[in-house]
């Protein structure tokens, strides 16, 4: 192994154990929500999920969207996540947290274990960062990366199969290129040993086999690879040409099957009520596109393969559930189901129905989410519906409302409790659908169970020592993000008074939020023979993009990085 010369670096964020601190409740924001999420599509062995704001670990549902604040622990197997066209894979004894996940930034905390990342596409304004107890790793190009943290948290090994990355920690920054591996130990100072990447092990060979299988997916010829769940469609249905809608996907289901009937609802901020389908292929067709009836059964009508605005590529935009609620359009209002029962009813939207979100969103967001998920809706129609949707709760007519099995209605308690809709559904008459009796004009409020859903408690839990492990970061994490093993609280809950002082908690230390006094890291020692002492930028000087992973809006008090020219060595897309 050979030493690598560090270059100057910039201020880092460090998450350390501090005094008792309760996380703030997640607030509803007026700005648009992210247009993408992650999905845990493959589970081999025991994997556990801790949802944002919860202290409970549960068995994950493969079709539940994952977002900022969610934590995963892979105990004795392997798992795979899709984040748009990016693939993230976990080996055994691996724990991760999503510290940021939006349209421009992906920030993952790897507390322990091995993580493999394959990035197909990386935009100029997009950042990928993996944070460990030793360093913050910025992935600079499309490629294949492996990051491993040992069980003690004292060492991080970075392997670059394809692409390039930048590791920052201990006051220094190190570049790693294709075919290289770096082993980083300690923190202040951070020691480094580097050399050629070794041959792939069993985990990487498994990842390569999964990549080859997905590269051959026929569905990528019909829809964008950024449509999460596209890789499932080949095995569970067929594509055909429709004279009205073009290429459509037909699921292999019974004639009595109907969309948005076999599954349940959960409440996931910032979108709110989110559909979780029971079908193994039930992600893409329920968060993108529209449903229509093709005579012999239901067909899924996706959006365009790619949406182009100017010279750039625009990803398909995720939606929590493309349905219309009876009596409330995009709002899940409570309606009378008969017999004195209050409930919620919904209808899958057709290709010409405008979807109105039940959360605050800008007119531009509403236009984009509808245009990217439909081939036939025009902008004028979207604007007209948007401008009238919030004036009153009014009767709405949907394309599919008179089709077989299109309307699903469940009691309110079943809706908020995450119970299966197919088990608890009740029938509504045509009169109740066309002229619903709205009992409450405000959206149905979630319960504590609504956040977690019906998943059983997990038995495979991460080791408790992760709570005392620091996290080195360059990007500031989202407010609701809590590293794996640390305290999480749902809105409206409180720390127990008994024994509360013994609970670990966290505090973010940054240049503008110093918290406990931190000693300045020493300059690299003799392990780096030609090393130069690291320095931070002079006040008012902006760091370059290599030090931050991508141009983005920084929190108040942070400096916005200036762009860095892209290297032409590798193409932008696979």
Whole-number Å distance between alpha carbons of 531 and 313? 41
**Closest alpha carbon to 167 in 188, 137, 141:** 137
Nearest 5 degrees, angle CA 90-CA 476-CA 495? Answer: 80
- Average pLDDT on 136-159 reads 97
- For the whole model, what pTM was predicted? 0.81
Averaged pLDDT score across all residues of the chain: 79
Token couple for 69: 């604040």
Q: What is the pLDDT of residues 174-190, one digit of tens each?
A: 999 999 999 999 988 89
Question: Which of 71-80, 171-180, 294-303 comes out lowest in average pLDDT?
Answer: 294-303
Sorting pLDDT into bands at 50, 70 and 90, what band is 389? Answer: low
* pLDDT over 50 (residue 198): yes
pLDDT, residue 95, reads 97
**Closest alpha carbon to 144 in 234, 63, 216, 205:** 205
pLDDT, residue 93, reads 98
Token couple for 553: 């809006």
* pLDDT over 50 (residue 142): yes
- Which one is predicted more confidently, 177 or 11? 177
Phi-psi region of 515 (alpha: psi -120 to 50; beta: other; left: phi over 0): left
Q: What is the pLDDT of residues 89-109, one digit of tens each?
A: 999 999 999 999 999 999 999
Domain boundaries, the chain: 13-206+460-537+540-547, 220-452
Token couple for 131: 């944070």
Residues forming a β-bridge with 336? 342
Q: What is the pLDDT of residues 250-273, one digit of tens each?
A: 999 999 999 999 999 999 999 999
* pLDDT over 50 (residue 29): no
Side-chain-side CA neighbours of residue 482 (13 Å)? 25
Whole-number Å distance between alpha carbons of 244 and 248? 10
pLDDT, residue 387, reads 73
- Average pLDDT on 375-384 reads 77
Collapsing DSSP to helix, strand or coil, 215 comes out as helix
Sorting pLDDT into bands at 50, 70 and 90, what band is 511? Answer: very low
Polymer length in residues for the chain: 574
In the chain, the percentage of residues whose pLDDT exceeds 70 is 73
CA 549 to chain centre: 18
Place of tokens 């067709």: 285
Token couple for 403: 């089709």
pLDDT, residue 390, reads 53
pLDDT, residue 13, reads 54
DSSP string, 477-527: PPTT---TTS----TT----STTGGGS--EEEEBTTB--S--PPPPPP-TT
- Which one is predicted more confidently, 187 or 560? 187
pLDDT, residue 371, reads 87
Token couple for 543: 């760091």
13-206+460-537+540-547 maps to CATH 2.60.120.1440:
yes
Q: What is the pLDDT of residues 469-485, one digit of tens each?
A: 999 999 999 998 999 98
Collapsing DSSP to helix, strand or coil, 206 comes out as helix
Strand pairing category for 105-119 and 94-101: antiparallel
Whole-number Å distance between alpha carbons of 232 and 239? 13
**Closest alpha carbon to 355 in 409, 297, 398, 395:** 398
- Average pLDDT on 120-138 reads 95
**Closest alpha carbon to 439 in 324, 273, 357, 328:** 328
């Amino acid at each position: 192994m050979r030493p690598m010369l560090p270059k100057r670096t910039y201020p880092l964020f460090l998450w350390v154990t501090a005094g008792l601190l309760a996380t703030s409740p997640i607030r509803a924001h007026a700005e648009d929500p992210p247009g993408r999420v992650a999905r845990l599509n493959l589970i081999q062995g025991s994997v556990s999920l801790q949802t944002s704001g919860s202290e409970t670990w549960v068995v994950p549902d493969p079709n539940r969207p994952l977002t900022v604040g969610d934590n995963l622990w892979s105990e004795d197997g392997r798992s795979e996540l899709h984040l748009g066209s990016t693939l993230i894979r976990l080996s055994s004894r691996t724990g991760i947290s999503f510290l940021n996940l939006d349209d421009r930034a992906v920030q993952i905390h790897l507390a322990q274990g091995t993580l493999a990342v394959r990035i197909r596409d990386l935009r100029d304004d997009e950042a990928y960062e993996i944070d460990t107890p030793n360093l913050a790793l910025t992935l600079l190009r499309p490629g294949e990366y492996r990051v491993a943290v040992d069980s003690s948290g004292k060492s991080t090994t970075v392997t670059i199969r394809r692409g390039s990355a930048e590791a920052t920690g201990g006051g220094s920054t190190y570049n790693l290129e294709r075919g290289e591996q770096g082993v980083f130990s300690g923190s202040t100072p951070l020691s480094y040993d580097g050399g050629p990447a070794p041959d792939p092990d069993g985990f990487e060979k498994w990842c390569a086999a999964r990549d080859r299988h997905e590269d051959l997916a026929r569905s990528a010829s019909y829809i964008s690879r950024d449509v999460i769940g596209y890789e499932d469609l080949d095995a569970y249905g067929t594509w055909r040409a429709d004279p009205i809608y073009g290429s459509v996907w037909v699921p292999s289901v019974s004639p009595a099957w109907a969309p948005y009937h076999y599954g349940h609802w959960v409440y996931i901020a910032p979108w709110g009520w989110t559909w979780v389908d029971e079908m193994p292929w039930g992600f893409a067709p329920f968060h993108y596109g529209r449903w229509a009836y093709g005579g012999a059964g239901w067909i899924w009508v996706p959006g365009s393969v790619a949406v182009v605005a100017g010279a750039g590529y625009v990803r398909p935009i995720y939606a929590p559930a493309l349905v219309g609620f009876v009596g409330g359009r995009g709002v899940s209002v409570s309606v009378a189901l008969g017999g004195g029962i209050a409930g919620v009813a919904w209808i899958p939207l057709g290709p010409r129905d405008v979807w109105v979100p039940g959360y605050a969103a800008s007119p531009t967001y509403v236009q984009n989410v509808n245009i990217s998920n439909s081939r036939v809706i025009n902008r004028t129609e979207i604007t007209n519906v948007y401008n009238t949707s919030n004036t009153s709760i009014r009767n709405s007519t949907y394309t599919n409302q008179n089709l077989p099995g299109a309307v699903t209605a469940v009691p309110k308690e079943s809706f908020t409790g995450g119970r299966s809709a197919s088990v608890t559904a009740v029938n509504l008459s045509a009169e109740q659908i066309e002229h619903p009796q709205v009992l409450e004009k405000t959206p149905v409020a979630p319960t504590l169970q609504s956040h977690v859903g019906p998943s059983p408690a997990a038995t495979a839990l991460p080791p408790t020592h992760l709570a005392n492990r620091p996290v080195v970061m360059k990007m500031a994490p989202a407010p609701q993000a809590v590293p794996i093993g640390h305290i999480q609280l749902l809105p409206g809950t409180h720390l127990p008074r008994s024994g509360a002082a013994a609970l670990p908690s966290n505090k973010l230390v940054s240049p503008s939020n110093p918290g406990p006094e931190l000693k300045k890291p020493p300059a690299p020692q003799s392990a780096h023979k030609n090393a130069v002492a690291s320095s931070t930028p002079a006040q008012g000087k902006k760091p370059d993009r290599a030090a931050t992973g991508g141009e983005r809006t920084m929190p108040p008090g942070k400096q916005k990085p200036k762009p860095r020219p892209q290297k032409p060595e590798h193409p932008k897309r696979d």
